[in-house]
């Protein structure tokens, strides 16, 4: 399993609906609205690393209102779960 954190900048007009749209994308495990430089964070989990480009570029990047994304691939996971 490959995990990635995708930061999403959005047009202001997309703010009310983009969170739900992100959450519906196949491969997005969680989506959050956040404050600061970025508007949303999507946690992506795919079986194969090659699937990240499809989820990020072809799916998330093509959603109406997405201005830009920044993807960070996770190397290790820490925590209780």
Q: pLDDT above 70 covers what percent of the chain?
A: 99
> Can you give the pLDDT at residue 81?
60
From 23, 6, 10, select the one nearest 64 (Cα to Cα).
10
pLDDT of residue 68: 96
> What's the mean pLDDT in 64-74?
97
Whether 35 shows a pLDDT value over 80: the answer reads: yes
Place of tokens 């925590």: 79
What's the whole-number mean pLDDT along residues 9-35? 97
For the chain, domains (ranges, CATH) are 2-73 (3.30.70.920)
Q: Phi-psi region for residue 12, left (φ > 0), alpha (ψ -120 to 50) or beta?
A: alpha
Mean pLDDT across 48-53: 89
């Amino acid at each position: 399993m490959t995990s990635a954190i995708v930061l999403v900048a959005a047009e202001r007009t997309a703010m009310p609906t983009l969170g739900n749209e992100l959450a519906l994308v196949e491969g997005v495990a969680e989506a959050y609205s956040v404050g600061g430089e970025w508007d949303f964070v999507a946690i992506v989990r795919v079986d194969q690393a090659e699937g990240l480009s499809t989820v990020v570029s072809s799916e998330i990047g093509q959603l109406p209102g997405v201005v830009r994304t920044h993807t960070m691939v996770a190397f290790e996971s820490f925590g209780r779960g």
